[in-house]
Structure 1
Amino acid sequence: MSEQEEVQLPKLGKAPQVRVNGKNWKETKTPFRTSSLSVPLKHRSWERRQKERENLRMIKAKEKEMKDEKEAEHAEKVRRIKERRMAKEEKERLEKMTAILSAKKLARRKRKEKRNKLLRERN
């Protein structure tokens, strides 16, 4: 062997995995390890989880309270609109009734005046 010709020896270690499906160009994936996470999930303390749950409960309660207030305001607005409409309808109905009544009264007065006029002319 000369200096220019170098014999490449195989590297020792793990043998490369040969895929059964033949997709050798794909990268081999390693299994997910929770220990490799920066903040391990399994090391969270019970107290911390309890605090997080309590915070979440408080947030949900506040959201529910805000939603209820908004619904109450909407219901109050709708109630006021309905009351206003009912009052307007009642006012219109009363105006029509008074117009009809005054017309009837006017007609009665005219008839009465006619009778009185005829009676006066006789005398």
Structure 2
Amino acid sequence: MDSTTQAQAGPALSKETLREVIPIDPGKGKRVGGKNWKVEKKAFRIKSLGTGSSWKQKQEQRLRDQDARARLKELQDEKEAAKKAHIDRIKEKREKKAEQERYERLATVMHAKRVERLKRREKRNKLLKER
């Protein structure tokens, strides 16, 4: 870099001017790396900033979550009960239909027996009339 580019970039800050601007904590002592003009940075922890949630807030959140879970379970149970009722209705309907078909088959068999019985009776009566 020559003198013209330095002038365009602005005046460079020397270590002395930085020491004046950034005070060094005397309690810390000298830095190991010797770069006392560097700004000391601390670990970035959200909790140390005090923006973390307090115990009371956590308890309230837990209660809200518990209520939400209870409500969700209630809705699921309701839905399950409705589904079960629907299935039961279908089963009952099928059972009634099967019972009806069974009675119809039974009726046809019983009707055939009755018809046969009537034929025999008629035959008997006919034979009796012919005597």
TM over 0.5: yes
State the Cα RMSD in Å: 2.9
Instruction: Say if 2:102 is the partner of 1:93.
Output: yes
Distance 1:71 1:60 in 2: 16
Q: Quick check: 1:34 aligned with 2:45? A: yes
Q: 1 CA distance for matches of 2:51 and 2:89?
A: 56
Q: C-alpha deviations, 1:19-45, integer Å up to 9, x for none?
A: xxxxxxxxxxx997124998722xx22
SS at match of 1:58: helix
Q: Note the C-alpha offset of 1:119.
A: 1.4
Greater relative contact order (CA < 8 Å, ≥ 6 in sequence): 2
- Counterpart of 2:58 (choices 22, 46, 49) is 49
Q: Distance in 1 between matches of 2:120 and 2:66?
A: 80
- What CA deviation, in whole Å up to 9, does each residue of 1:51-72 have, x standing for no partner? 0000000000000000000000
- Determine the structure 2 residue equivalent to 1:25: none
Q: Deviations over 1:73-113 (max 9, x none)?
A: 00010001001100110011011101110110111110110
Unaligned runs of 5+ in 2: 7-11, 19-34, 36-40
**TM-score with structure 1 setting the length:** 0.70
State the match for 1:6 in structure 2. Answer: 3
Distance 1:109 1:94 in 2: 22
**Greater helix fraction, Structure 1 or Structure 2:** 2
| 1:36–1:102 Cα change, 3 Å | closer
The size of the alignment, in residue pairs, is 101
Judging changes above 3 Å, is the alpha-carbon distance between structure 1 residues 87 and 45 closer, same or farther for their aligned structure 2 residues? same
The AA in structure 2 aligned to 1:45 is S
Question: Residue 108 of structure 1 is aligned with which of 92, 103, 117?
Answer: 117
Once the two structures are TM-superposed, the CA of residue 46 in structure 1 deviates from its matched residue by 1.1
Aligned to 1:60: 69
Confirm whether residue 118 of structure 1 aligns to residue 118 of structure 2.
no
TM (normalized to structure 2)?
0.66
